[in-house]
Amino acid sequence: MKTIIAFFTILFSVTLISCNSNSSPTPVANTETVVLVHGAWQGAYAWATVKSNLEKKGYKVIAVELPAHGDDQTSVAGITLSSYSAKVISVIEAQPSKVILVGHSMGGMVISEVSEKIPSKIVKLVYLAAFLPKSQQSLLEISSADKQTLLPAALEFSADQTTVSVKKDNLVAIFCQDGSETIKQILLDKNRTEPLLPLTQKVTLTDANFGSVPKFYIRTVNDKAIGITLQDQMITTTPVKKVYSLNAGHTAHLSHANEVSKIIEEISATK
């Protein structure tokens, strides 16, 4: 009799533990950290929803605030493209594992330079409506070939030629015409002038380093800042493992955050 009672006691305990574990599932931890790099005239805030979505799926996510952007109060004096890459490298080197490095717009120049310097720490590069350079190209050189962008006519340069801003009346129409009214207001409220020097500086890239990291590109078909024709040209001149397309404007991580999050998840799972 005691043996029977003991058997049912153990059975009940195992069943209870099983039920409790099923009632509160926890996200599966992912071994790769996702590092998000914003573009010009923006800050880490632009990744808020994507970051939250991925964290709910068990990813560790870091949205980098580049110097003199967002809430960072670093002076624009002396800011270079290397200033940006150094900030991202410091974040990546603090991680115990390799990272998936995502760059939006100007952030594509940054992640390219970072991958040249520390390729062994990066498992994948993801370009979201981003500049995908060849060696010895600058952002301004690449963008000069863009016949679809509305950005040049909306730019205002400071008298000392150290910063460049986008006319406030044109900002939403160029960057996020498909965003909600809340998102549009955030862009307007958070908008800051952009250091000019990094946009003029060339990247040096090699096949051994930059070329060794698998690349993925997310096209934004309705982009008014980087025309889709230029996006496609960049994709054809640099080997890309897989290309995704969104019917979105330039800041798809704001206007189509859920779709961007799912694509990053898919890229993470790609072997």
Angle between helices 48-56 and 257-269 (to 10 degrees): 50
Three-class SS of residue 238? coil
**Which residues lie closer than 8 Å to 231 by C-beta, 6 or more apart?**
129, 217, 219, 220, 223
Query: What Cα–Cα distance (Å) separates residue 149 from each residue in 142, 152, 185?
Result: 12, 7, 22
165 is an active site residue:
no
The H-assigned helical ranges of the chain are 2-23, 48-56, 81-93, 107-117, 139-143, 168-175, 181-190, 197-200, 228-237, 252-255, 257-269
Using DSSP bridges, classify how beta strands 122-128 and 99-104 pair: parallel, antiparallel or unpaired: parallel
At CA 72, angle to CA 199 and CA 184, rounded to 5? 75
Q: For residues 76 and 69, give the distance between their C-alpha atoms in angstroms, rounded to a whole number.
A: 9
Active-site entry in 105, 112, 115, 138: 105
Q: Which residues pair with 35 in a beta bridge?
A: 62, 101
At CA 232, angle to CA 81 and CA 260, rounded to 5? 75
Catalytic residue numbers read 105
